[in-house]
A and B are shown apart, each in its own frame.
Chain A
Amino acid sequence: GIQVEQSPPDLILQEGANSTLRCNFSDSVNNLQWFHQNPWGQLINLFYIPSGTKQNGRLSATTVATERYSLLYISSSQTTDSGVYFCAVGGNYGGSQGNLIFGKGTKLSVKP
């Protein structure tokens, strides 16, 4: 099945710093989502981005589907950005068409 790899696994930043999180996937996709999991476990939708570039405030994301990777940019990080960031992809894989396959996440800690 499709493999989803996220890097780095852990990231520690000082408040105000910028960061880039990467998601590599092993097959073509028709769905790619970025999520932020807060300390209470809630998954918050950041981007639905199977291709192209999107921006939302201090966050932006780019997916290059032909090269099978996506990047999540966080600028001017804040302590509330701490948590785990997940990339999840979906495609036409046998009987599981469209279902999401999750990476293991990047754990971000922003220090004041």
Chain B
Amino acid sequence: DGGITQSPKYLFRKEGQNVTLSCEQNLNHDAMYWYRQDPGQGLRLIYYSQIVNDFQKGDIAEGYSVSREKKESFPLTVTSAQKNPTAFYLCASSMGQGNEQFFGPGTRLTVL
């Protein structure tokens, strides 16, 4: 089945710890994205990557880091510098930037 997978589904973290969220796609898409959603709000762009080994900051990149070593994978690290990391994180991909985006099922991160 073609699609986007994210893991884990739920993640709990203690303050001061870094945590990495996984995003994998088998759609052969070039572009990948990470968004954050807070309760009752729309999605906001954290980072995006148009091609392997390249990525750009989105609107709320502070406290996050990414890598794009493989076309299929775009992991997101939430660092201890992120002041309010509790949120729902969604990964997306598209054929190219500007094309229709498709989303994974999301990861709910809670900082205890």
Residues of A within 8 A of B (CB): 4, 30-31, 33, 35, 40-43, 45, 48, 86, 88, 90, 95-100, 102-105
Contact = CB atoms under 8 A, between A and B. Distances in A.
B50 to A, nearest CB: 9
B58 A90 contact: no
Interface residues of B, number: 26
Closest 4 CB pairs of A and B: A98-B98, A102-B42, A98-B97, A43-B103
A72 to B, nearest CB: 15
Contact of A99 (B33, B40, B88, B105): B33
B103 A100 contact: no
20 contacts: A31-B99, A31-B100, A33-B100, A40-B105, A41-B88, A42-B103, A43-B103, A45-B103, A48-B100, A86-B43, A90-B98, A95-B56, A96-B45, A97-B97, A97-B98, A98-B98, A100-B101, A102-B43, A103-B42, A104-B40
Given A103-B42, A105-B42, A41 B106 contact: yes
B105 A42 contact: yes
Contact of B97 (A33, A42, A48, A99): A99
Contacts of B100: 31, 33, 45, 48
Contacts of A45: 100, 102-103
B48 interface: yes
A25 to B, nearest CB: 13
Contacts of B102: 45
Contacts of A30: 98
Contacts of B44: 102
Given A31-B98, A90-B98, A99-B48, 5 more contacts: A31-B100, A41-B108, A98-B96, A99-B33, A105-B42
Nearest to A92: B98
Nearest to B56: A95
B41 interface: yes
Most B-side CB within 10 Å, residue of A86, A96, A104: A96
Interface in B42-59: 42-45, 48, 56, 58-59
A27 B103 CA distance: 25
